[in-house]
């Protein structure tokens, strides 16, 4: 049955999966049963009573109160069971435990920013300890987004007008995918992130090191770290592959053709401007989907990124 | 022969444009809505083609977002909502009641012209910047994005009045213009379905009108209602929008159910099983449909209590829907089932609607909806209800009444080939979407994760099979119009009043006022037994 489980549902990464999945499979069974019942009766009647076939038909009743009560009351009983089952799971997802670790989430077109209790911030990369409830308090800077982690079975809209929250407890170390599920425009389908579930010790170490902030690293290596931590890799490849944005390979120092026909040289100032004010110069053939990293990256980090891009020959 | 029919009594463009005849207005609505369906269908094919690969296939993200928005808006506002009531309903409702016309013929024509105006406004958006909000116009995205949002919201406002006019007309017609002897429980079930639909149309549509007007005021004059930047509440828009748009789902499906309730008894030669249960369940669905809108908002941040209540009320809608399905199936028991095109589509409806309805349980239930909301599971679910349900029922009705409307029979052989392709193509397209949805593929995604590509390819190939089936359908139906009229007044042996007049009917519908002294499905007793005896002899 594992192949069937994997065919229809994502892997199970949180405690909610154990609440949602049994109900899901019950409903799959119920759907199969009633579909086969209806299809079977249709098929049987068509074969047996099709026009011109010699069969004793007699006079069938035009209604039957007992039968009609049965086929009203049995579905009624079933849906009441389903309602309470679904309600049970929903309520436990609605109330975070008091000792939950709280992380702030800021959503904006088209990235996810996380702020940890220590003040550390990351982009598109949420790191949480395994086996500990985590509560996310979320707000949007522009339109409505939705925080969806399929393998955790959680989803919550992120509103620009007030905080919403969602919580989960990851059951084992691993990497999970975060997606935006409220349509938010051009970059909606690129508003992705990862959730890394690590052991409590690793989490603490990571937090203590400032999220691997790269203190003491040479600029180009720090740049590589930022390239992954801040989700640049989602849109900019290193091997020349075309993604949502231009590849970094062989970019530095070369002329770049912009929308509108001008050409600029990809020097330090061009890259800096593209990070802080991405809409200023759009590379020909690409969509203006990049969010600004103003306020997210400091001068040292921007410089490190430029050094990293220089190395991508 | 031939006595002049409504098609031939008057000729020329003027006689159509200024007609007050419900049949001609119905036919104009039919061609207009079919044109809209064709446009929506082409857009659907473009969507499926773009999704053949995980990244760009043939258009950029902006274009894709405009295409899926227009696909949804065209299909819902220009095709599904008006198709059955305003096209088929307009044509047959007065005939089914034994009436000369609808109660307010001028209002009927006004409804058509409002539809045309609204449609032109909506389509004009294509050349004035497009609209990329999705058909749901969620704020604050819709208040902040550019393009032709203002034009489209006004179009929806105008189209709403077109729908209200039809509803008002049908209610008045049903109350006042029934033939002598046609008591409420001698009305064909199609009329009950239209009546329930009309109630929702006139009660819910004004809310949509007000909502899009408020959106317009906010966009044009900066009145803060939904946009938090202006002090508004974006979730309020969702409440307003779904307060109309959920009942609107029943504006779409009840007429489909109404057609099935006509076709199954006629092609089974049996009175419908549980007439009153079906009639009352239509009205019950219409009533409860106003109390379930919040089930679109379980993850929107609405209160937990509200979500729980909406979930419970949603499940209550399942009961009358299930009752109807069981009644239709029971009608076939001991019947004499004639598998002509309308019946083939009616049985297809039963199967596809069953899947659509049962998968609704996953979404009405709170815990599972959190996982499935805004994924392809929802897309597949509503296509099973809207296309597998309403559109297939529309095809059943179109094939059922086509001989009455145009006086021509179509090729039964080609209709079977087309139906088989539609069935296979539809299921291939949308079963794959259930699977990708429950595995976590969000809807309205231009790019997607490569792991979903095999399922997307299956779905896209399915859409080609489906399209082929529909092209063949258009082909044999249009081909039938080139023939000389050959349809008898009553090709299917129906007992309702429209079959008592000629095909196509004269402008005034009936030569003498019909008098009704029996129910709509009282087929001659023992006819099946006689047929059996005849075979044996």
- A-facing residues of B in 303-362 (CB < 8 A) are 304, 307-308, 311-312, 315-316, 318-319, 322-323, 325-327, 329-330, 332-339, 347, 350-351, 354-355, 358-359, 361-362
- A-facing residues of B in 250-309 (CB < 8 A) are 268-277, 298-301, 304, 307-308
B60 contacts in chain A (CB < 8 Å): 287
Q: Look at B438 and A162 and tell me if their CB atoms are within 8 Å.
A: no
Flag whether the ipTM exceeds 0.90. Answer: yes
Q: Look at A27 and B361 and tell me if their CB atoms are within 8 Å.
A: yes
Q: Is the pLDDT of residue A144 over 50?
A: yes
- A-facing residues of B in 39-98 (CB < 8 A) are 55, 60-62, 65
- Closest-approach residue (CA) in chain A for B532: A54
SS3 for A121-144 is EEECEEEEECCCEEEEEEEECCCC
Q: Look at B365 and A23 and tell me if their CB atoms are within 8 Å.
A: yes
- Closest-approach residue (CA) in chain B for A76: B319
In degrees, to the nearest 5, what angle opens at C-alpha A153 toward C-alphas A230 and A184?
50
Distance between CA atoms of residues B271 and B521, nearest Å: 5
Distance between CA atoms of residues B20 and B103, nearest Å: 11
Q: Look at A19 and B351 and tell me if their CB atoms are within 8 Å.
A: no
Rounded to a whole number of angstroms, the distance from the CA of A259 to the nearest CA of chain B is 15
Please indicate if any CB of chain A lies within 8 Å of the CB of B239.
no
Nearest residue, CB atoms, A185 vs list B145, B326, B368: B145
Rounded to a whole number of angstroms, the distance from the CA of A192 to the nearest CA of chain B is 10
A94 contacts in chain B (CB < 8 Å): 304
Q: Determine the length of chain B.
A: 537
In degrees, to the nearest 5, what angle opens at C-alpha A229 toward C-alphas A225 and A235?
105
In degrees, to the nearest 5, what angle opens at C-alpha B204 toward C-alphas B200 and B209?
140
Rounded to a whole number of angstroms, the distance from the CA of B336 to the nearest CA of chain A is 5
pLDDT number for residue A128: 96
Nearest residue, CB atoms, A90 vs list B316, B366, B535: B366
For an interface test with A, give the residue of B241, B311, B384, B440 to mutate (most A CBs within 10 A).
B440
Residue B15: count of CB within 10 angstroms of its CB: 12
Residue B499, both tokens: 């079959």
Rounded to a whole number of angstroms, the distance from the CA of A167 to the nearest CA of chain B is 13
pLDDT number for residue A296: 81
Pair B529, A57: CB distance under 8 Å: yes
Pair B241, B173: CB distance under 8 Å: no
A88 contacts in chain B (CB < 8 Å): 367
Q: Look at A75 and B134 and tell me if their CB atoms are within 8 Å.
A: no
Nearest residue, CB atoms, A8 vs list B140, B233, B438: B438
| A287 or B164, which is more confident | B164
In degrees, to the nearest 5, what angle opens at C-alpha A241 toward C-alphas A237 and A245?
55
A234 contacts in chain B (CB < 8 Å): none
Nearest residue, CB atoms, A83 vs list B62, B311, B442: B311
Residue A98, both tokens: 């008091």
Residue A213: count of CB within 10 angstroms of its CB: 15
In the three-class reduction of DSSP (H, G, I as helix; E, B as strand; rest coil), residue B189 is classed as helix
Q: Look at A38 and B325 and tell me if their CB atoms are within 8 Å.
A: yes
Closest CA to B393 of B436, B351, B334: B351
pLDDT number for residue B537: 41
For tokens 């690293």, the residue is: A217
| Structure confidence by residue, pLDDT tens digits, A183-215 | 999 889 989 999 999 999 999 998 888 776 666
Q: Does the predicted TM-score (pTM) go above 0.95?
A: no
Burial class (CB in 10 A: 0-12, 13-18, 19+), A71: buried
- Closest-approach residue (CA) in chain B for A165: B301
- Closest-approach residue (CA) in chain B for A178: B440
Q: Look at A45 and B333 and tell me if their CB atoms are within 8 Å.
A: yes
Residue A41, both tokens: 């009766």
Distance between CA atoms of residues B287 and B283, nearest Å: 6
Pair A297, A305: CB distance under 8 Å: yes
Percent of chain A with pLDDT over 70: 98
- Closest-approach residue (CA) in chain A for B329: A42
Strands A154-158 and A145-149: antiparallel
Q: Look at A161 and B338 and tell me if their CB atoms are within 8 Å.
A: no
Rounded to a whole number of angstroms, the distance from the CA of A204 to the nearest CA of chain B is 30
Which strands, in side-by-side order, build the sheet including A164-169? A121-123, A111-115, A101-108, A133-140, A164-169
pLDDT number for residue A299: 87
Task: Verify cis geometry, omega within 30 degrees of 0, for the bond prior to B504.
Answer: yes
Rounded to a whole number of angstroms, the distance from the CA of B393 to the nearest CA of chain A is 17
Q: Look at B439 and A9 and tell me if their CB atoms are within 8 Å.
A: yes
A56 contacts in chain B (CB < 8 Å): 532
For an interface test with B, give the residue of A13, A161, A187, A290 to mutate (most B CBs within 10 A).
A161
Nearest residue, CB atoms, A93 vs list B319, B334, B370: B370
Distance between CA atoms of residues B445 and B52, nearest Å: 12
Question: What is the phi-psi region of residue A260: left when phi exceeds 0, alpha when psi lies from -120 to 50, beta otherwise?
Answer: left
pLDDT number for residue B197: 94
Residue A100, both tokens: 């939950």
| Structure confidence by residue, pLDDT tens digits, A291-302 | 888 888 888 889
pLDDT number for residue B1: 43
| Structure confidence by residue, pLDDT tens digits, A156-176 | 999 998 999 999 999 999 999
Rounded to a whole number of angstroms, the distance from the CA of A208 to the nearest CA of chain B is 33
Q: Look at A42 and B351 and tell me if their CB atoms are within 8 Å.
A: yes
B353 contacts in chain A (CB < 8 Å): none
Distance between CA atoms of residues A47 and A33, nearest Å: 21
A67 contacts in chain B (CB < 8 Å): 330
Cβ neighbours of residue B73 under 8 Å, at least 6 residues apart? Answer: B122, B131, B135, B152, B156
- A-facing residues of B in 403-462 (CB < 8 A) are 435, 438-440, 442-449
Distance between CA atoms of residues A156 and A145, nearest Å: 9
Nearest residue, CB atoms, A159 vs list B298, B301, B371: B301
Distance between CA atoms of residues B180 and B201, nearest Å: 28
R_g of chain B computed on alpha carbons: 23
pLDDT tens, residue order, chain B (537 aa): 456 899 988 888 999 999 999 999 999 999 999 999 999 999 999 999 999 999 889 998 999 999 999 999 999 999 999 999 999 999 999 999 999 999 999 999 999 999 999 999 999 988 888 899 999 999 899 988 887 889 999 999 999 999 999 999 999 999 999 999 999 999 999 999 999 999 999 999 999 999 999 999 999 998 989 999 888 999 999 999 999 999 999 999 999 999 999 999 999 999 999 999 899 988 888 888 899 999 999 999 889 999 999 999 999 988 999 999 999 999 999 899 999 999 999 999 999 999 999 999 999 999 999 999 999 999 999 999 999 999 999 999 999 999 999 999 999 999 999 999 999 999 999 999 999 999 999 999 999 999 999 999 999 999 999 999 999 999 999 999 998 888 999 999 999 999 999 999 999 999 999 999 988 998 876 555 555 555 544
Q: Look at B367 and A183 and tell me if their CB atoms are within 8 Å.
A: no
Q: Look at B438 and A24 and tell me if their CB atoms are within 8 Å.
A: yes
Distance between CA atoms of residues A144 and B136, nearest Å: 13
Rounded to a whole number of angstroms, the distance from the CA of A187 to the nearest CA of chain B is 8
- A-facing residues of B in 92-111 (CB < 8 A) are none
Give Cα A92 distance to the centre of its chain: 21
Please indicate if any CB of chain A lies within 8 Å of the CB of B145.
yes
Size of interface A-B (CB pairs under 8 A): 267
* Residues A136, A141, A143, A147, Cα dihedral to 10°: -20
Cβ neighbours of residue B280 under 8 Å, at least 6 residues apart? Answer: B320
């Amino acid at each position: 049955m594992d192949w069937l489980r994997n065919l229809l549902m994502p892997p199970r990464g949180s405690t909610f999966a154990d609440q949602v999945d049994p109900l899901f499979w019950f409903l799959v069974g119920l759907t199969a049963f009633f579909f086969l019942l209806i299809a079977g009766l249709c098929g049987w009647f068509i074969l047996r009573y099709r026009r011109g076939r010699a069969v004793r038909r007699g006079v069938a009743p035009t209604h039957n109160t007992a039968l009609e009560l049965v086929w009203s009351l049995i579905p009624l009983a079933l849906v009441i069971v389903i309602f309470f089952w679904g309600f049970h799971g929903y309520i436990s997802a609605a109330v975070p435990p008091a000792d939950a670790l709280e992380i702030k989430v800021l959503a904006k077109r088209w990235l996810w920013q996380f702020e940890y209790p220590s003040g550390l911030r990351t982009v598109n990369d949420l790191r949480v300890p395994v086996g500990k409830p985590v509560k996310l308090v979320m707000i949007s800077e522009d339109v409505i987004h939705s925080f969806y982690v399929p393998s955790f079975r959680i989803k919550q809209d992120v509103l620009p007008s007030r905080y919403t929250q969602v919580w989960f407890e990851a059951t084992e170390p691993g990497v999970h995918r975060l997606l935006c599920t409220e349509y938010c425009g051009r970059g909606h389908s690129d508003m992705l992130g990862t959730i890394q579930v690590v052991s409590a010790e690793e989490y603490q170490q990571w937090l203590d090191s400032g999220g691997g902030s790269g203190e003491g690293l040479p600029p180009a290596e720090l740049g590589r770290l930022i390239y992954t931590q801040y989700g640049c890799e989602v849109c900019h490849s290193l091997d020349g592959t075309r993604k949502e944005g231009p590849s970094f390979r062989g970019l530095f120092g070369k002329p770049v053709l912009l929308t509108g026909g001008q050409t600029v040289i990809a020097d330090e100032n061009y890259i800096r401007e593209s990070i802080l004010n991405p809409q200023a110069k759009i590379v020909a053939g690409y969509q203006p989907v990049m969010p600004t990293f103003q306020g997210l990256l400091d001068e040292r980090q921007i410089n490190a990124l430029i050094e990293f891009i220089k190395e991508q020959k | 022969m031939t006595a002049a029919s409504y098609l031939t009594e008057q000729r020329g463009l003027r006689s159509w444009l200024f007609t007050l005849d419900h049949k001609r207005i119905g036919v104009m609505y039919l061609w207009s809505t079919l044109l809209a369906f064709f446009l929506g269908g082409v857009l659907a094919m473009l969507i499926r083609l773009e999704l053949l690969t995980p990244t760009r296939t043939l258009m950029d993200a902006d274009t894709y977002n405009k295409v899926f928005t227009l696909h949804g808006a065209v299909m819902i506002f220009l095709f599904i909502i008006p198709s059955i009531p305003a096209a088929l309903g307009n044509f047959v409702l007065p005939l089914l009641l034994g009436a000369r016309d609808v109660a307010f013929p001028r209002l009927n024509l006004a409804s058509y012209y409002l539809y045309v105006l609204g449609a032109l406004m909506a389509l004009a958006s294509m050349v004035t910047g497009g609209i990329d909000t999705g058909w749901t116009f969620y704020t604050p995205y819709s208040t902040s994005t550019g393009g032709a949002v203002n034009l489209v919201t006004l179009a929806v406002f105008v189209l709403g009045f077109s729908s209200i006019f039809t509803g008002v007309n049908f209610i008045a017609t049903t109350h006042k213009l029934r033939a002598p002897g046609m008591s409420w429980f001698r009305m064909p079930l199609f009329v009950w379905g239209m009546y329930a639909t009309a109630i929702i149309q006139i009660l819910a549509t004004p809310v949509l009108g007000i909502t899009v007007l408020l959106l317009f005021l906010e966009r044009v004059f900066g009145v803060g209602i939904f946009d938090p930047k202006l002090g508004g509440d974006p979730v309020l828009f969702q409440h307003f929008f779904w307060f109309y748009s959920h009942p609107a789902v029943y504006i779409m499906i009840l007429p489909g159910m109404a057609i099935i309730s006509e076709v199954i008894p006629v092609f089974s030669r049996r009175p419908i099983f549980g007439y009153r249960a079906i009639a009352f369940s239509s009205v019950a669905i219409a009533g409860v449909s106003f109390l379930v809108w919040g089930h679109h908002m379980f993850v929107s941040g609405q209160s937990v209590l509200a979500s729980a209540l909406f979930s419970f009320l949603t499940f209550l809608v399942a009961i009358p829907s299930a009752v109807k399905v069981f009644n239709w199936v029971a009608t076939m028991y001991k019947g004499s089932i004639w598998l002509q095109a309308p019946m083939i589509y009616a049985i297809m409806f039963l199967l596809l609607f069953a899947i659509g309805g049962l998968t609704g349980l996953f979404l009405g239930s709170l815990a599972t909806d959190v996982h499935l909301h805004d994924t392809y599971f929802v897309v597949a679910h509503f296509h099973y209800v809207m296309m597998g349900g309403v559109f297939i029922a529309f095809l059943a009705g179109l094939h059922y009444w086509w001989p009455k409307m145009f006086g021509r029979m179509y090729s039964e052989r080609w209709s079977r080939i087309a139906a088989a392709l539609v069935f296979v193509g539809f299921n291939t397209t949308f079963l794959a979407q259930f699977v990708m949805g429950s595995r976590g593929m969000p809807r309205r995604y231009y790019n997607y994760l490569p792991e979903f590509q095999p399922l997307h390819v299956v779905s896209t190939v399915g859409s080609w099979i489906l399209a082929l089936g529909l092209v063949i359908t258009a082909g044999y139906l249009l081909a039938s119009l080139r023939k000389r009229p050959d349809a008898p007044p009553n090709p299917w042996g129906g007992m309702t009043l429209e079959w008592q007049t000629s095909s196509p009917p004269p402008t005034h519908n009936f030569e003498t006022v019909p008098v009704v002294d029996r129910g709509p499905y009282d087929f001659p007793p023992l006819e099946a037994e006689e047929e059996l005896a005849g075979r044996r002899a």
